Structure 1
């Protein structure tokens, strides 16, 4: 089963929270529904800035324990290695998920061209 290690932050990048989940979109939705669960409204954790997908549950737990021990500069270096501008990755993740689930509404042009014979 796939596991995700993620780092989520607030709009001012004051807090960096490391988490482990099996359903990243559901976890991000939980943070949206409960914005003041961990912090006050000014420090809502709502920006996904880093995530890793790991196939093994044991390896994911080991990686989570390892990343959780990082200092703030180490976490920032990890984030900047893949997301230099600290862009919120939630939108891209939602778009990718919709592309996987979305049924094909019409046949592609390439397949229609192949079926026409003269």
Structure 2
């Protein structure tokens, strides 16, 4: 069974937020950082990883992503600030 991650990207503290899901977080974030993911994240320059959560099962991660995408902005910001109050770019802490 494939593992999964949910992640939140932004372009700056309290900036535009994007929630995504992947089975390989380090690789996916590198794709975003290099601008190789066309669409919303590329258009808004969303390259800062400010939050992520691991799941043993990719299906569970996808289900949680759908829930979180329906959250209001304040809940997403609360989630980020509980784990990462400085809004540090966590992508530099990932290992491939």
The structure carrying a bigger helix percent of its residues is 1
TM exceeding 0.5: yes
Residue by residue over 1:44-102, the C-alpha shift from the partner in whole angstroms, topping out at 9 and shown as x without a partner, is 11100000000012221221111111111010001011001111001111xxx26xxxx
Pairwise mapping of residues 1-118 of structure 1 onto structure 2 (< 5 A)?
A: 1-11=2-12, 13-34=14-35, 37=38, 38=40, 39-40=42-43, 43-93=44-94, 97=95
* Higher RCO (CA < 8 A, seq sep 6+): 2
| Greater C-alpha Rg | 1
Name structure 1 gaps, 5 residues minimum: 99-118
RMSD: 1.9
Query: TM-score, normalization: structure 2?
Result: 0.85
Name structure 2 gaps, 5 residues minimum: none
How many residue pairs align between the two structures? 93
Which 4+ residue blocks in structure 1 deviate beyond 3 angstroms? none
Query: TM-score, normalization: structure 1?
Result: 0.70
